[in-house]
Structure 1
Amino acid sequence: MSPRKRNEAASQCLLPLEEGDPSEERLQSLVARVSDEALVHLLQYGYAIVDNALPGELCATLRQELDTLLEQGQMWDSQSYSLNEGALHHNICETTLDYLEARAHAPTFAEIEKDQGLLRTLRRLPALRGLSMQHLRLQVNRGNGGCYTMHTDSGVSEPDRADAVQVLRATALFYLNEGWQEEHGGELRLYPYPLPPVRIAPLSGRLVLFEPRMVHEVLPNFHKRYCFTLWCATSMTSSAASSTFLNVETMTDFEAASSACINFRRSLGTLSPQLESVPSPLRSLFFSEVRPLLVRYVFRDCELQSACRSHDAGPQKDLMLQGISQYHQKMKELNPAWFRLLLELLPSAATEPVRAHDRGRVGPSELARLVTQHCPWWEHSPDAAAC
C-alpha cells in the first residue's frame, strides 16, 4: 500500500471529536490546530509537530508565570531518576503545581492542567480512547549548555489508596521560546527508530506529541528556554495495568525481550500469527516495547555523550556513566554481530527508495519500511481492530 493510501485509511479510523465546553478550556486553539493529518502522523510515526498550537499572548503569560515560579523558589533542580538518587542535570529547573506553593503562583497553568481539549483531541485515535487524565510538568532551562539526557517517559505510577494507577500513553511538549534562533540550541531530538533521528526546534507556540516509549533528549541550550509537558494517561487498577503494560527496557538480550513480548501478547490473545512467523532475532524490530533497547544500542555513543554533557560532575555521574557503558557491553555480548550491524544500517537505509532490482528481496531499506508500516507505536485497541 502506498503512503498516500495508508494515510487515507488511517484518517478513516479517526473517531469524531467529543463535545466539550469551550468556556472551560484554556487551550481552545488546540482543537483547531491538531489536524487529522497530525493525528495520522502521530499514529504512523509515533510523533507529530503542531505549530502555533498556543497563541502568542498565552505564551507570554506562561513565560511570566514560569519566571515567577523560579524567582519564588517554587522549582527544583532536575535530576536523573528520582530525587536524591540521580545526578543533577545542570542549569535545568522543574516543578509541578503540587510542589510547595507553586499552584498559587501559576493560575494559568492551573487552568491548563484542568483543560480537557487535548485529551478530547487525542481520544480521536482509537488506541487512545482510554485517556482520562493529564499531569503537568513545568521546566526552565537557564542556558549555559544545559541539556537533558536520552530517556523515555513510559511508565506506571504507584497505586493510590484505591489501588488505581496511571499508565502514561502520550506526551505533549509545549514550547514558549519567543525569537528562538539556531545558535540558542536546546532542540528536542526524537529517535523514531528505525527511522533516523528528528531534530525539532523549540519555537514558541509549538506542540510536539509523541509516544512515551520513544527515546528523546534535549540538546545543549545556550539561551533561557521555557517549556511545559502534559503527560496524558489512562487510569486503571494496578492489576489491570500489569496486564496491559510491559516494560523490557532493562533487558539487554533482544531475543529475550522479544520472547517476553510474545508471551505477553499470547496471554492477552493479541499475538499476530504473522509476527510469530518472523524469524529470530529480526522479530525484535516489530515490538514497540523493544525499540528503546535497539535505540540505546544503535545510538550508544550518543547516549554516553548525552549523559556526560547533561549532568554535573561527581560520583553519581561517574556511576551512571559506568552503568550505561556496562549496559551497552552486555548488548554487544548477548546479540549476534550480524544483527547488530543490521540495526545500525536501518536509520540511513530507511530514507533510501527501494530499488527496482531489490524487489522481491528484503534489504535494509525494505525492512525499515516493513517495520514502520506494520509495527505501530500504539497497540490497536479492540475498537480499532477494523483499522
Structure 2
Amino acid sequence: MDHISLPQTWDIDQIIEDLDHQGFCLIDDAYSSEYMQTLVQECTAHLNEFRDAAIQNGVVSNIRSDHILWIDEQLAYAQQHIQALTALSEQLNRAFYFGIREVEAHFACYNAGEFYALHRDNPQGKNGRVVSSVYYLHEQWHADWGGELRLQDKQGEWHIIPPKPNRIALFQSDLLHEVLKSKQQRLSITAWLRSQDSIW
C-alpha cells in the first residue's frame, strides 16, 4: 500500500486497544463537518442509482432490506474516506499482522422500516474480510429513530451502538451483528478491510 496519513483526529492507540480487547471501537467526530456535508451531498445525488442489496446474482435474501451503491473512482469524496481506511489498515497490519491488502466499500441507505438481520461479514473466514467499518453520514439522528448497530463483542457481550452522525464503528468481520429497523432514512458507508482481492 502507498503511504497515506491517518486523520489527526483518529486516536490510533485507542483504536488498537479497543479492537484488541473488545473486537470493536468507535471513532466519533471522524471528519470535519465540511467534508461530511460534501460526502452527504455526493451520496444523496446518487440515490437513484442504488440497488436492492437483498438481490445478489438473481437470488433474493430475506435477511436484509437496505439499498447500496458500490464506491468506485467516480465518487471522489467517498474515495477520501477509503484512503483514510487504507492508512488505518497500515497501522492495523503493524499491530495485528492482519495482512490487509485493500478496502472495498459501498454507500448504504436504510429507508424507514428497513433492516439487516443477525449475520457475520466473514463467516468461517472465507471471504478475506478482516475488519468491518460503518461510517454514519446522515446529518442528524434522534434516539427514537432506531437503526442501531447491535454487536456481540469478543467476550460475548452485546452492545447497542447508535448511528450517531460523523461516527465510525469498526469491528472484527467475524463478530455477530445486525442493523435494527430504522424509522428514518439512514445513510452510511460500509467498508471492509480485506486480506484478499475484492470479489465484487
What's the TM-score bracket when you normalise by the shorter of the two chains?
0.7 to 0.9
What is the percentage of aligned positions where both structures have the same residue?
A: 23
Q: TM-score, normalised by structure 2?
A: 0.85
Residue 100 of structure 2 is aligned to residue 131 of structure 1: yes
Which residue identity is paired with 2:92? Answer: L
Which residue identity is paired with 2:153? Answer: P
Give secondary structure in 2 for the equivalent of 1:63.
helix
Higher share in helix:
1
Deviations 1:259-298 (A, max 9, x none): xxxxxxxxxxxxxxxxxxxxxxxxxxxxxxxxxxxxxxxx
Higher share in strand:
2
Aligned match of 1:54 in 31, 38, 49?
Answer: 31
Q: How many residues were matched structurally?
A: 193
Aligned match of 2:15 in 34, 38, 54?
Answer: 38
What are the within-5 Å matches in structure 2 for residues 7-46 of structure 1? 20-22=3-5, 28-29=6-7, 31-46=8-23
Distance 2:196 2:140 in 1: 38
Q: TM-score, normalised by structure 1?
A: 0.46
Cα distance change on mapping 1:41 and 1:111 into 2, 3 Å = closer
* Higher relative contact order (Cα pairs below 8 Å, separated by 6+ residues): 2
Partner residue, 2:90: 120
Give secondary structure in 2 for the equivalent of 1:221.
coil
Deviations 1:216-246 (A, max 9, x none): 100110111111122111138xxxxxxxxxx
Looking at CA atoms only, which structure, 1 or 2, has the larger radius of gyration?
1
Give secondary structure in 2 for the equivalent of 1:220.
coil
Partner residue, 2:116: 148
Q: Is the 8 A contact 2:4 2:83 kept in 1?
A: no
Partner residue, 1:265: none
Aligned match of 1:83 in 57, 62, 67?
Answer: 57
Cα distance change on mapping 1:194 and 1:235 into 2, 3 Å = closer
Q: What's the offset of the Cα at 1:183?
A: 1.2
Distance 1:229 1:171 in 2: 7
Could you tell me which runs of 5 or more consecutive residues in structure 1 were left unpaired when the two chains were aligned.
1-17, 23-27, 158-166, 237-387
What are the within-5 Å matches in structure 2 for residues 210-225 of structure 1? 210-225=171-186
Distance 1:178 1:32 in 2: 19
Give secondary structure in 2 for the equivalent of 1:172.
strand
Q: Is the 8 A contact 1:34 1:121 kept in 2?
A: no
Which residue identity is paired with 1:140? Answer: C
Q: Is the 8 A contact 1:174 1:206 kept in 2?
A: yes
Could you tell me which runs of 5 or more consecutive residues in structure 2 were left unpaired when the two chains were aligned.
none
Partner residue, 1:180: 141
Q: What's the offset of the Cα at 1:146?
A: 1.1
Q: Is the 8 A contact 1:66 1:140 kept in 2?
A: no
Partner residue, 2:130: 169
Distance 1:21 1:152 in 2: 29
Cα distance change on mapping 1:194 and 1:36 into 2, 3 Å = closer
What are the within-5 Å matches in structure 2 for residues 237-256 of structure 1? none
Q: Is the 8 A contact 2:4 2:87 kept in 1?
A: no
Distance 1:220 1:64 in 2: 24
Distance 2:141 2:105 in 1: 23
Q: Is the 8 A contact 2:131 2:194 kept in 1?
A: yes
Cα distance change on mapping 1:210 and 1:56 into 2, 3 Å = same
Q: What's the offset of the Cα at 1:177?
A: 2.4
Distance 2:82 2:19 in 1: 22
Q: What's the offset of the Cα at 1:188?
A: 0.3
Distance 1:70 1:59 in 2: 17
